[in-house]
Amino acid sequence: MVMGTDTKCIAARVENLNGANEFVEECADLFGLPAKKKFGLLLALEEAFVNICSYAYLDGDGDVEISCVAGEDSLVLEMADRGKPFDVLSLPDPDTTLDIMDRQVGGLGIYFIRTLSDGVSYRRENDRNILRMEFRRSRENSP
């Protein structure tokens, strides 16, 4: 079993998504995350990454530190930025029942993270926002 932490620091720009994706996909493959969970992991990665690119550094450039922590049964993805304090989990879930003309996409990203991960939490640590998302290898899906 492979255990340990892999970290990559990437400039917070949307065009760097592919690089972030490759890094996390490699971690998922090394860990042996099942395909369905890997899909959830990579979707969560994009949503968190794009959020940081869009909102964390409104006054200039900054980085995203991406860590994959391989545990016994779960792979934990942590995304850290040095933007102003912001808990993305404070956003309300979107109304997924509205008609096409009234439908907004804001808030959908974090809703995907909540739905597809096996646990998500936010913490502010050393002037950084850190979003922690857990993906279990085993089948059961806890809320």
Please spell the DSSP secondary structure of 41-67, one letter per residue: HHHHHHHHHHHHHHHTTTTS--EEEEE
**Residue 18 sits in the site that holds another protein (CB under 8 A):** yes
Binding to another protein (CB under 8 A) within 25-64 occurs at 36, 39, 42-43, 46-47, 50, 53
Burial profile 46-83: b = 16 or more Cβ within 10 angstroms, e = fewer? bbbbebbbeebbeeeebbbebbbbbeeebbbbbbbbbb
Region of 126 (left: φ > 0; alpha: ψ -120 to 50; beta: rest) is left
Nearer to another protein, 23 or 71 (CB): 23
Nearer to another protein, 83 or 109 (CB): 109
> Interface with another protein by CB under 8 A: which range of 3-11, 81-89, 104-112, 123-131?
104-112
Site string for another protein, 107-126 (x = CB under 8 A): -xx-xx--xx----------
Residues that bind another protein (CB under 8 A): 14-15, 17-18, 36, 39, 42-43, 46-47, 50, 53, 94, 96-101, 103, 105, 108-109, 111-112, 115-116
